[in-house]
Structure 1
């Protein structure tokens, strides 16, 4: 069994979540006989109906559960501290924690210590490379480390989490798995000031992720994610933003007043959905996101460490005809996309092809992807999304739309795509039975001498259903989904898809013709 097959098996059987719940139970109770304790836990798993019924806190009794009180509890408070790298959030977090007697968690430091203590571990070696290049660590890994840290401090009255979340997907995942914060503090600072502070910190501390190339990368990631993240918490009435381009004590005084009013005043006091002054986090040459609408301005398009900046094409991408083509292995989505691209002048983008193409390049990113693929780990969604965005930008003006094949694979991919690029205009789901997909996939493997067997094929199909069901339901609720019966011949399915796209294009044309801007 290959590393990839082993990983797919573990994911399909929910083994990582099972192990996490067992470890949480062990950390909580510290039994004298861990073997006996684990045996009793596994018996409970059987009674519940299997690993898929197990949650992270299944083996933690209600009176010992650490995390629920965080979610608006009477005696325990929690809040996030966020801002660009170098905005001073670490310094301010420590001062706030000391002032109120809260526990301080630096997510960056948490990950760096884990990397240092498990340097021989293949997974953490890869994460170290990801962080050193300025990318975000895998989302689930970060959440798991935070949860385990929280389990170690069950009696704290409050917790300050520094440097988290970094994007909307992380915020949603934290709320789903742990809790909603009581307060989010955002420190806004100009990009130029952030660069100066990071480079100074690099000289003083020698942190590996403060090198020039990684710094540029981290700043670009921050600028892409900051406004959607602030907007997300504004809608929940949880965030307060501060100008961090000021004296440290002045910023601390303002934050302290806000924390006093929000967490320790009467229940009527609230943070309020105050607006983010985008000039605080964007330079004069950057795109300014005002009232969450784009204003086009020039942007310096630089490259570093093998990564090419896509510049500011956000508005153009958002207006593009973007069509997701979803389907399991053997559903025929690749073949259909090729024909559709020729007929309609669309650009067909396959995530697997983009990854293969990147692997053939000599960029730093290709080396990172190669290490990840060879270890059997999935390529981080942020890297896949970045490849997609770069490919889309390169075709703007030369295409009538984009057919994206193989993405999104799960709901968090869809949410990430919408926050960083935009919503698809149409989602085509090639719907056919598992038997049909299995038969087609095996026939294709035989003709190409692929080593996939029946068991592997069935596991891939089952994994597809598990990941795609929430995704399909999500797009059905947004009325963007169109299911196409893919049981017939390739020609019949193609004709059905064409009818759907023709109808979609007519509606788009009509909407454009009657747009107030065109009158």
Structure 2
């Protein structure tokens, strides 16, 4: 058997597509006798005319075709991990990885994950050798990431990867593909491409250059979730370069680039959305890398040669310690990200250029009037009831802005404002954050997205009746309240299991029960309040995530 036989055989026979269909059927129906069920499926394959006729939903049933592919579970990934056994003389087994094999792609109009689960199981770099030095270059749109990344790659003889160019090239080369057409629309509106797709493209590119001394990756990650995926599936970077630039400078550069290059994602609304996404994600992302001691921050408002000189000194210090140490900037100046401080430019200066784009901050009367034109949905539920994951899916499906109050407070703590100092002081003394401050933060978050969203999905708010009444008084009455009803025993088990995975030994069954007791004390009168207003929809959260999502969508469809 020659080295290409296994790959050619699997591809020619459409084996990955067959396995995907079988696994989706198993995960949906969960038959008592899986062997008997698989035998019936294989008989259906013969009747259809072979494995090439199988699709992801072939074994789900015609009445369930509106379901998304059930392809996110560990069972499927574990299954594919064993598709190529150790005994197979596959040339890349010594790397425990596969080369870029585009013909393995499991294409589906409704599945954006591509071969993410397949590729995820293989190491990108040869584990028997040191991996190339990895430098990530991040910053706002127009901060000079591309220019500086190319300069770094040229100076040190590293390979250069532009994630934006990777995606744009793939979109151009597969313009007739429905999935990539959808991704093109997502990027054109200023949103981030699906995470699984982006990681897959990066991994395939990296596997084409395994012998490089170093690699500079421009424009990735864009948020903490992408950073975690990169570390989990590829490696921990050796250095992260952050180019901090105020909004006024970013605005000028983007408008100039739009005139010169005409990139599809440089339209006015997309630029506004990209700036807003950057503003929301930058602080937690930079803080994450700061905690790991990986990031160095540079003022990118200056001349590009000045910036590059500082970057070169920092790279020499960090990656080539044998050289004489040179001092370089290292601390993040938060004022370069946040619109705080006297005279600071905010994105509102930029947004005012379009009457379709709402200003950054509003008076309460104006805000209440604007909220009448959109939808506000509360999603309530206890710890580990699944609110977060369901909110993310709902926000994506209905083009809503997902607002998680806990994240807003965490982001506020990284700011340098007087409000941030007050919150820190209160928390240090064990005092709760006053409701007025929480509502101020919520108003700021909602104001920043007005005019560019169909509505707002508030996760975990309100927690008690008084918060609900105050929200209605100052903002609006919600259009729908979704409650993920999950038994206390199941939530306790989930929280304890999750804490063990994250090695949080302080989380015990007893303190979870106390936490749930407090939750129910605030929740019971709140649910009664919304029930009397005919706004409450209870959904059983002990079912599978996909079943819960379908129930939630049934309620949401009545609003849209």
User: TM-score, normalization: structure 2?
Assistant: 0.51
Alignment of 1:53-68 (within 5 A): 56=119, 66=125, 68=127
Residue 498 of structure 1 pairs with residue 555 of structure 2: no
Quickly say closer, same or farther: Cα 1:236–1:213, change in 2 above 3 A: same
Aligned to 1:506: none
- Separation (CA, whole Å) in 1 of partners of 2:327 and 2:79: 38
The one of 295, 298, 301 equivalent to 1:242 is 298
Quickly say closer, same or farther: Cα 1:91–1:406, change in 2 above 3 A: farther
Aligned to 1:134: 190
Aligned to 2:72: 11
Residue 387 of structure 1 pairs with residue 471 of structure 2: no
Aligned to 2:247: 191
Alignment of 1:96-495 (within 5 A): 96-266=152-322, 274-282=330-338, 286-287=339-340, 300=348, 311=361, 324-325=381-382, 387-388=456-457, 397-398=470-471, 405=482, 429-431=486-488, 470=498, 479=507
Whether the 8 Å CA contact 1:96–1:256 is kept in 2: the answer is: yes
Cα offsets for 1:272-329 (capped at 9, x unmatched)? 99321123334xxx2469xxxxxx999849587977677599xxxxxxx996436779
Deviation, structure 1 residue 466: 10
Whether the 8 Å CA contact 2:188–2:270 is kept in 1: the answer is: yes
Residue 78 of structure 1 pairs with residue 134 of structure 2: yes
Cα offsets for 1:379-408 (capped at 9, x unmatched)? xxxx9998325997997942699998578x
- Separation (CA, whole Å) in 2 of partners of 1:132 and 1:26: 44
Unaligned 5+ runs, structure 2: 1-60, 94-100, 105-116, 364-377, 401-451, 526-560
- Separation (CA, whole Å) in 2 of partners of 1:90 and 1:215: 17
Deviation, structure 1 residue 124: 1.3
- Separation (CA, whole Å) in 1 of partners of 2:508 and 2:156: 48
Deviation, structure 1 residue 430: 2.7
Deviation, structure 1 residue 127: 1.1
- Separation (CA, whole Å) in 1 of partners of 2:240 and 2:226: 14
Aligned length: 359
- Separation (CA, whole Å) in 2 of partners of 1:58 and 1:211: 38
- Separation (CA, whole Å) in 2 of partners of 1:384 and 1:471: 35
Whether the 8 Å CA contact 2:276–2:347 is kept in 1: the answer is: no
User: Which secondary structure state, in structure 2, belongs to the residue aligned with residue 250 of structure 1?
Assistant: helix
Whether the 8 Å CA contact 2:380–2:459 is kept in 1: the answer is: no
Unaligned 5+ runs, structure 1: 31-37, 42-53, 290-295, 314-320, 334-348, 360-382, 408-427, 435-464, 485-492, 504-519
- Separation (CA, whole Å) in 1 of partners of 2:248 and 2:329: 27
- Separation (CA, whole Å) in 1 of partners of 2:125 and 2:391: 43
Quickly say closer, same or farther: Cα 1:324–1:499, change in 2 above 3 A: closer
User: Which secondary structure state, in structure 2, belongs to the residue aligned with residue 96 of structure 1?
Assistant: helix
User: Which secondary structure state, in structure 2, belongs to the residue aligned with residue 387 of structure 1?
Assistant: strand
Quickly say closer, same or farther: Cα 1:138–1:163, change in 2 above 3 A: same
Deviation, structure 1 residue 266: 3.6
- Separation (CA, whole Å) in 1 of partners of 2:199 and 2:131: 23
RMSD of the alignment, in Å? 5.4
Cα offsets for 1:46-103 (capped at 9, x unmatched)? xxxxxxxx8747567xxxx52658xxx7573111001110011101100110111100
Whether the 8 Å CA contact 1:262–1:269 is kept in 2: the answer is: no
Quickly say closer, same or farther: Cα 1:182–1:59, change in 2 above 3 A: closer
Quickly say closer, same or farther: Cα 1:190–1:432, change in 2 above 3 A: same
Aligned to 2:530: none
User: Which secondary structure state, in structure 2, belongs to the residue aligned with residue 398 of structure 1?
Assistant: helix
- Separation (CA, whole Å) in 1 of partners of 2:505 and 2:362: 31
- Separation (CA, whole Å) in 2 of partners of 1:261 and 1:353: 45
Quickly say closer, same or farther: Cα 1:223–1:146, change in 2 above 3 A: same
- Separation (CA, whole Å) in 2 of partners of 1:466 and 1:128: 38
User: Which secondary structure state, in structure 2, belongs to the residue aligned with residue 124 of structure 1?
Assistant: helix
- Separation (CA, whole Å) in 2 of partners of 1:397 and 1:104: 52
Deviation, structure 1 residue 203: 1.1
Quickly say closer, same or farther: Cα 1:384–1:84, change in 2 above 3 A: same
